[in-house]
Amino acid sequence: MRLGSVEYEKKGRIAFITLDEPTKLNALSAGVRQGVSESLAAIDADDEVRVGVITGRGDKAFCVGADISGFPVTAEQAHTFIANVLPFLAQPERCRKPLIAAVNGMAYGGGFELAISCDFIIASERAKFGVPEIQLGLLPGFAVVRLHDIVGRPKAKELSILGEPIDAAEACRLGIALRTVPHEKLIEEATALAEKIASKPRMAVEMAKSFYNRGLGGDEMRYAADAFPFLFLTEDVREGVAAFREKRKPRFK
Cα 19 to the chain's mean position, in Å? 11
Q: Residue 80: how many CB atoms within 10 A of its CB?
A: 13
Catalytic residues: 113, 133
Whether the CB-CB separation of 190 and 100 falls below 8 Å is answered with: yes
Nearest to 193 by CA among 102, 108, 114: 102
Q: Where are the alpha helices (DSSP H) in the chain?
A: 30-45, 75-94, 110-117, 147-151, 153-162, 168-173, 186-198, 202-212, 219-227, 235-245
From the list 63, 52, 68, 66, the residue with the least C-alpha distance to 20 is 63
How far is 209 from 128, CA to CA, in rounded Å? 26
What phi and psi, each to the nearest 5 degrees, are found at residue 226? -85, -35
CA dist., res. 92 & res. 97, Å (int): 9
- Can you state the angle between helices 75-94 and 219-227, rounded to 10 degrees? 150
Largest interatomic CA distance in the chain = 56
The β-bridge partners of 97 are: none
Distance, in Å, from the CA atom of 18 to the CA atom of 47, rounded to the nearest integer, reads 21
